[in-house]
A and B are shown apart, each in its own frame.
Chain A
Amino acid sequence: MRAGSEIRSFAPPPVDLREILRYAGIREATPEISALLEECLRQAEPVLQYRVCCRKFPVVFEADALDLGFTRTTSRNLRKNLENCRSLWLFSATVGLGMDRLIARYSRLSPAKGVLMQAIGTERVEALCDAFQGEIAAQEKSIAPRFSPGYGDFPLDCQRDIFAALDCGSIGLTLNSNLFMTPSKSVTAVIGVREG
Chain B
Amino acid sequence: MNILEYMTQHLLFLDGGMGSLLFARGMQAGELPERWNLSHPEVITQIHKEYFDAGTHVVNANTFGANCLKFSEEELEQIVRSALENARAAAAQSASASEKWVALDIGPTGKMLAPYGDLDFEDAVKVFAKTVRLGVKYGADLIFIETMADSYETKAALLAAKENASLPVFVSNAYGADGKLMTGANPAAMVAMLEGMGADAIGVNCSLGPKALAPVVEEYLRYASVPVLLKPNAGLPQVVDGKTFYDVSPEEFAGEVAALVDKGVSIAGGCCGTTPAYIAALTNACQGMTPKTVQPKNICCVSSYTHCVRLDEAPVIIGERINPTGRKAFAQALRQGDLDAVLREAVSQQEAGADILDVNVGLPELNEAAVLPRAVGEIQAIVDLPLQIDTSHPAALEKALRRYNGKAMINSVNGKESSMASVFPLAKKYGAVVVALTLDEQGIPQRAAERIAIARRILNRAREYGLSEKDLIFDPLTMTVSTDPGSAGETLAAVSGIRLQLGCRCVLGVSNISFGLPGRELLNSTFLTLALEHGLSAAIVNPHSAAMRGSFAAFKALRGLDTGFTGYIAHCSAQQDSPAAPVKQANETLFQAIVTGRKEQAGALAGALLASTPPMELISREILPALDHVGRAFEEKKFYLPQLLMSAEAAKAAFDRIKAHFPKGTAADKCPVVLATVQGDIHDIGKNIVRLLLENYGFPVTDLGKDVAPETVVEAVVKLHAPLAGLSALMTTTVPAMEETIRQLREKAPWCRTVVGGAVLNRQYAQSIGADRYAADAMETVRYAEEIFEEAKNGRLK
Contacts and interface: CB of A to CB of B under 8 A. Distances in A.
B641 A25 contact: yes
Contacts of A103: 685
B453 interface: no
Contacts of A196: none
Interface stretch (B95-103, B107-115, B124-132, B294-302): B107-115
Given A1-B19, A6-B239, A112 B117 contact: no
Interface in B632-659: 640-643, 645-646, 648-649
Contact of B734 (A25, A70, A171, A178): A178
Nearest to B679: A178
Given A5-B237, A109-B344, 17 more contacts: A1-B33, A3-B19, A3-B244, A9-B177, A24-B642, A25-B641, A33-B640, A55-B242, A97-B116, A100-B116, A105-B381, A108-B684, A112-B597, A174-B110, A177-B118, A178-B734, A182-B116
Interface stretch (A78-86, A122-130, A162-170): A162-170
Nearest to A98: B184
A56 interface: yes
Contacts of A65: none
Nearest to B644: A112
Contacts of B115: 104
Contacts of B19: 1-3
Interface in B354-411: 381-384
Contacts of B734: 178
A110 B206 CA distance: 39
Range of interface residues on A (Cβ < 8 Å): 35 or more
Interface in A1-60: 1-7, 9, 24-27, 30, 32-33, 36, 49, 55-56
28 contacts: A1-B64, A1-B65, A1-B272, A9-B177, A24-B642, A26-B641, A32-B598, A36-B646, A55-B242, A56-B239, A56-B242, A70-B30, A104-B116, A104-B381, A105-B382, A107-B684, A107-B688, A108-B340, A111-B648, A111-B692, A156-B732, A165-B29, A170-B174, A171-B182, A176-B111, A178-B118, A180-B733, A182-B112
Interface residues of B, number: 67
A187 interface: no
Interface string A94-119: 00111011011101111110111010
Interface in A143-159: 156
A97 B150 CA distance: 11
A27 B116 CA distance: 31
B731 interface: yes
B347 interface: yes
B110 A33 contact: no
Nearest to B681: A178
A122 to B, nearest CB: 12
Contacts of A36: 642, 646
Contact of B649 (A25, A98, A111, A176): A111
Chain A residues touching B, majority SS: mixed
Contact of B642 (A26, A169, A170, A180): A26
A182 B112 CA distance: 7
Interface of B: 18-20, 23, 29-30, 33, 64-65, 108, 110-112, 115-119, 149-150, 174, 176-178, 182-184, 206-207, 237, 239, 242-244, 272, 340, 343-344, 347, 381-384, 596-598, 640-643, 645-646, 648-649, 680-685, 688-689, 692, 731-734
B23 A112 contact: no
Contact of A178 (B18, B64, B272, B733): B733
A55 B239 contact: yes
A137 interface: no
A192 interface: no
A112 B642 contact: yes
A36 B598 CA distance: 10
